[in-house]
DNA sequence: GCCTGTGAATCCATTCACAGCT
DNA sequence: AGCTGTGAATGGATTCACAGGC
């Protein structure tokens, strides 16, 4: 990464995936070049924002012209690490878990589940796509290094989530995507992203209630 | 709502659900009173933040003592509209859609699905819990007013999401929870919340890649 | 002494506006 | 002329620090 001396704001990182989606469309449509103005419109943000965000990482654009679509997309993917493959494990194979496991968006973007854990005896031993077998979470410790698992996805009931997270961390996983509606305590060195539908719903409800 | 003259920052709204979860725990544990300090620790935020957030809506605390757990929780629920019931419809009954439909967290928090739409003929007519029948999305227009649907949940493939959103809006839905990884264009009067797993994953990947 | 509520200070992100390159 | 890259200005949100009440 080019300019790590200037610290990059978290919101910038969160917008990069936003930029990459319309860029993929433009690439497909064989549009060679895009200006910060049109890209901004496609993403619903301010053009100066787009320029500033991209400038954190290098000078990708050409003054008077714009950004070359293909190379910009490649740069963004490099920054986000989307050019690599990532190996995930899933803990919790309930409704949500299995929906995530079967979700094509993940694989398409380079995120592959290589292990699945669930403590329900009725599920243990079940054979899924790619020969993955549902195993008891106590196997996490051993599986993480063996399968080079880099990211853990937690889709368990909330009261089990903290325990599972600790198992993942102590097995060497440094990044966790948490779908359980609780606040996970984590070691300094690790990253946790929370996805909580009900927070979004409560947000909607608040705004609806306010609209009268 | 008590103090609407001061505009309430969006981040404050997003933190209220965060506060409510530990409060529910404390209520169950019959802890009568909580200080901004301990609540802050439970949520991983700054204590002053907690006080300021709550103070936007009234003087809920007692100086020298703290906040009464039960009444604070009740107030937060009132603010968020979580004390009411909300009626949702689901569009897109694939893996993710059915996981959402069967998710207990929703119902427990007062969000009930009252209709399900999918354009797949193999799914139309299927009878789900509570006698809900999967219908073609063209029925949205008619169903929204009849069933008093307030919130639409989109779990379709991305290329259908915009069209579905427009059908929902024109049928009178003012709030949409969107799981498709696209930017939805919406009328001024409506609210959209996006839930995009892959953004979270790309975020994790970025931070992992940075950790060396 | 303890803890809330809140102005003031700080920090951070967004937007503006223009210099500089093509 | 067109569009990027960026310092400066603006606008918000977070945190500090303390006055005020229990």
Tens of pLDDT, residues A153-210? 999 999 999 999 999 999 999 999 999 998 899 998 899 999 999 999 999 999 998 8
CA nearest B197: which of A161, A194, A133, A92? Answer: A194
Helix, strand and coil in chain B, % to nearest 5: 50, 15, 35
Choose, out of B206, B210, B212, the residue to mutate when testing the contact with A (most A CBs < 10 Å): B206
Q: Tell me if B204 is assigned to some domain.
A: no
- Is a pLDDT exceeding 90 seen at residue A35? yes
For residue A203, the chain B residues in CB contact (below 8 A) are: 13-14, 17, 191, 193
Indicate if A113 and A190 belong to the same structural domain. yes
- In a shared domain, residues A47 and A132: no
In 3D space, the residue among A111, A186, A124, A184 whose CA is nearest the CA of residue A154 turns out to be: A184
Same domain membership, residue B107 and residue B169? yes
Answer with the one of A80, A100, A115 that is the final residue of a domain. Answer: A80
CB B67 within 8 A of CB B36: yes
**Arithmetic mean of pLDDT, B22-50:** 96
Which pLDDT belongs to residue B5? 53
pTM of the model: 0.92
* C-alpha distance from B91 to closest chain A C-alpha (Å): 16
pLDDT bin (cut points 50, 70, 90) of residue A3 is: very low
Range of the domain at B164: 86-199
Q: Is B107 on the interface with A (CB under 8 A)?
A: no
Report the interhelical angle of A197-210 vs B10-28 (nearest 10°): 120
Which alpha helices (DSSP H) does chain A contain, by range?
10-28, 36-43, 47-55, 69-80, 95-102, 104-108, 140-147, 158-171, 197-210
CA distance A14 to A102: 25
SS3 annotation, B164-186: HHHHHHHHCCCEEEECCCCCCCC
Is A113 in the same domain as A179?
yes
Q: What is the CATH number of the domain that holds B59?
A: 1.10.10.10
- Protein contacts on strand C: list nucleotides below 7 Å from a Cβ: 1-7, 12-17, 20-22
- We report the CATH number of the domain holding residue B163 as 3.40.50.720
Q: Helix or strand or coil: residue B154?
A: strand
Encoding tokens for residue A67?
């950004």
Q: What is the strand order of the sheet B111-117 is part of? A: B134-135, B111-117, B86-91, B151-154, B175-178, B191-194
**pLDDT single digits (tens) A61-97:** 999 999 999 999 999 999 999 999 999 999 999 999 9
Which residues in chain A are contacts of B111 at CB distance < 8 A?
198, 201
pLDDT tens, position by position, B176-196: 999 999 889 999 889 999 999
Asked if residue B132 and residue B32 are part of one domain, the reply reads: no
B13/A203 Cβ within 8 A: yes
Number of separate domains in chain A: 2
Residue ending a domain, choose from A80, A107, A133:
A80
> Is residue B81 less than 8 Å (CB to CB) from chain A?
yes
A207 touching B (Cβ < 8 Å)? yes
Among B80, B111, B130, the domain-final residue is B80
d(CA A203, CA A199): 6
Question: Which residues from chain A sit within 8 angstroms of residue B182, using beta carbons?
Answer: 21
- Quickly list DSSP for B181-211: SS-----TT-EEEE--HHHHHHHHHHHHHHT
């Amino acid at each position: 990464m080019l300019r790590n001396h200037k610290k990059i704001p978290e919101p910038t990182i969160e917008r990069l995936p936003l930029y990459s989606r319309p860029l993929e469309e433009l690439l497909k449509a064989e549009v060679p070049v895009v200006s910060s103005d049109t890209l901004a419109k496609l993403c619903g943000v301010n053009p100066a924002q787009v320029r500033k965000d991209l400038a954190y990482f290098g000078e990708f654009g050409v003054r008077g012209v714009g950004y070359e679509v293909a190379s910009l997309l490649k740069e963004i993917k490099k920054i986000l690490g989307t050019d690599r493959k990532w190996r995930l494990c899933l803990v919790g194979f309930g409704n949500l878990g299995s929906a995530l496991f079967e979700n094509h968006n993940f694989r398409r973007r380079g995120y592959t589940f290589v292990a699945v854990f669930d403590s329900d005896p009725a599920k243990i031993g079940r054979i899924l796509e790619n020969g993955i077998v549902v195993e008891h979470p106590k196997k996490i410790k051993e599986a993480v290094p063996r399968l080079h698992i880099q990211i853990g996805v937690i889709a368990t009931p909330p009261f089990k989530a903290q325990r599972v997270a600790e198992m993942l961390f102590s097995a060497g996983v440094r990044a966790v995507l948490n779908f359980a509606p609780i606040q996970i305590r984590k070691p300094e060195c690790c990253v946790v992203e929370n996805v909580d539908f009900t927070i979004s719903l409560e947000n909607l409800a608040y705004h609806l209630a306010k609209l009268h």
